[in-house]
Amino acid sequence: MSLTTARATVVRDVLLVCLTFGAGAVDAISFLGLGRVFTGNMTGNLVLLGLAAAQEKGSEVVRSAVSLGAFCAGVLLAVSLVAVISSRRAEPRGSRMWPVGVSVVLALEVLVQAGVLAGWLTVGGHPGATFEVVLVGLSALAMGMQSDAVAALGVAGVTSTYVTGTLTGLLRGIVVGGEDVPDRLRRAAVLAGLLVGAVVGGVLLVEARRFAPVLPLAVTVTVLVAAGWAFRGERSRTVEGLGERP
């Protein structure tokens, strides 16, 4: 691995941790502020959906179901966008550290998160039952898009919205081996990022409820801008390479 590639890998991993931090904040805000529902962690949301159905809590069933459906829609949208952009730019899968399609998806996520913030501010951070469903849907749509954007980076065992596999992989690597130190550190950092994000999101909801959704939006914007700056050379090399093709 060249020095340039090593540095790019570190930058990419830091940005992944930042996205996970933002996802942790989103789940804290949605669970505490939008009626006990996760909009990023669909494993937990499926459990909540089952519990709500068992207890015949209709409103919670609706919110969890909307979250699940919107998340799936976000994933499908992101998959399609990344595939189309990669094919048009003739980018083989895994050929770049940060594909253009990932940045496009994150840019769309920013727009959706801005919509969540605008809606949240409109009601002063206290949405009614109907508007809660709208905000849940928007938030889950954004998280579904982010989840596939991270998956498109192709970093084994790392996601931004669910970390059970990351935790399992980390513990297995410690006991069995087979992973180098950077891989273990990356997994550990992702786990810490989600935890800290949830803590900060929860604190914001208590201390500055009106502006809590600003945090995940700011994180995504920061990651998008940082990625555009850090990987600009990679984009230039890709364009030059395409220009040299017969």
Assigned domain for 244 exists: no
**E strand spans, the chain:** none
Assigned domain for 238 exists: no
pLDDT tens digits for range 142-151: 999 999 999 9
How far is the C-alpha of 202 from the C-alpha of 215, rounded, in Å?
A: 11
Chain-centre distance for alpha carbon 206 = 23
* Helix/strand/coil (H/E/C) assignment for every residue in 183-221: HHHHHHHHHHHHHHHHHHHHHHHHHCHHHCCHHHHHHHH
Assigned domain for 10 exists: no
Assigned domain for 239 exists: no
Span 134-148, average pLDDT: 96
pLDDT at 89: 65
* Dihedrals phi, psi of 64, to nearest 5 degrees: -65, -40
Token output for 175 = 């006991």
Is residue 44 a contact partner of residue 68, using CB atoms and an 8 Å limit? no
pLDDT tens digits for range 173-192: 778 766 677 788 888 888 99
Span 64-86, average pLDDT: 94
Cα distances from 163 to residues 5, 21, 124, in angstroms, run 26, 12, 32
Assigned domain for 157 exists: yes
Is pTM beyond 0.95? Reply is no
pLDDT at 68: 95
Quote the number of domains for the chain: 1
Give the domain range for residue 166. Answer: 17-231
Cα distances from 118 to residues 56, 113, 115, 125, in angstroms, run 32, 9, 5, 10
pLDDT at 22: 96
Assigned domain for 237 exists: no
How far is the C-alpha of 18 from the C-alpha of 64, rounded, in Å?
A: 25
Least Cα distance to 195 among 22, 13, 10 occurs for 22
Assigned domain for 113 exists: yes
Assigned domain for 1 exists: no
